[in-house]
Chains A and B, each alone.
Chain A
């Protein structure tokens, strides 16, 4: 079993839809959780970063963490074609290394 599981998609939605991206994990030592966006042939870009269970909002993006269920989500409201990218969840423990999910390929159609 992988430490971090993420559905690779692809996920295709119409413009304006709400997108839900999810990851599950097995290592209870993970303390902080991140979402990165990666456009084709580019390095990942940090979108959201959170420590604790609950919700964190930043513009159209909401990150949700449920440590009891070992489940994290990223919601994108009013999705735009420019949101089309691969979204990677990542998790870290006190040691500082990040473990990444496989990434979900998202396509937002105009």
Chain B
């Protein structure tokens, strides 16, 4: 199947700093990527949909100025958590949709963020 990578896999930062997470589709072009957040023992909650070359579409309740998304190429999307606070600590997962199959999403391995 298609492979999606994320970097870093884990990050610990101090409150107030910004953290950038990269999501890459390694063997296919992804016109659309999705960013999810998952708290322990809970399901994936969609944060935003990222389309290459255009602004991201954020879900209700997600602050677009806090979670900056950039989808500069067909294989790379980035999520920047600005001025992170402890309540932002979570598991952030991206997925990419294969342009040839509009429904299937392939997920990255996730990034665990801990804000102290």
- Interface residues of chain A, those whose CB is within 8 Å of chain B, are 6, 8, 32, 34, 36, 41-46, 49, 88, 92, 96-98, 100-103, 105
In the bound complex, residues from chain B placing their C-beta under 8 Å from that of A6 are 43
Closest to B59 in A: A97
Residue B90 is within 8 A (CB to CB) of chain A in the complex: no
B-to-A contact residues, CB < 8 Å: 1, 4, 6, 32, 34, 41-44, 46, 49, 91, 93, 97, 102-110, 112
Chain A nearest CB: distance from B42 CB in Å?
Answer: 7
- Are B108 and A97 in contact, with the CB atoms below 8 A? no
Q: Chain A's nearest CB lies how many Å from the CB of B46?
A: 6
Q: What is the predominant secondary structure among interface residues of chain B facing chain A? A: strand
Tell me which residues across on chain B come within 8 A of A103, comparing CB atoms.
Answer: 42-43
Whether A98 pairs with B46 at a CB distance below 8 angstroms is yes
Instruction: For A43, give the chain B residue with the smallest CB separation.
Output: B107
Q: Knowing that A41-B112, A96-B32, A98-B34 are A-B contacts, what are 11 other residue pairs whose CB atoms are under 8 Å apart, sorted by A's residue number? A: A8-B41, A32-B103, A36-B107, A43-B4, A43-B108, A44-B93, A46-B104, A96-B97, A97-B46, A102-B43, A105-B41
Report Cα–Cα, A75/B34, bound state, in Å: 28
The listed residue (B93, B103, B112) touching A92 by CB distance below 8 A is B103
Give chain A nearest CB distance to B15 CB in angstroms: 23
Q: What separation, in Å, do the CA atoms of A96 and B49 have in the docked complex?
A: 10
B1 adjacent to A42 (CB under 8 Å): no
The closest CB in chain A to the CB of B44 belongs to A100
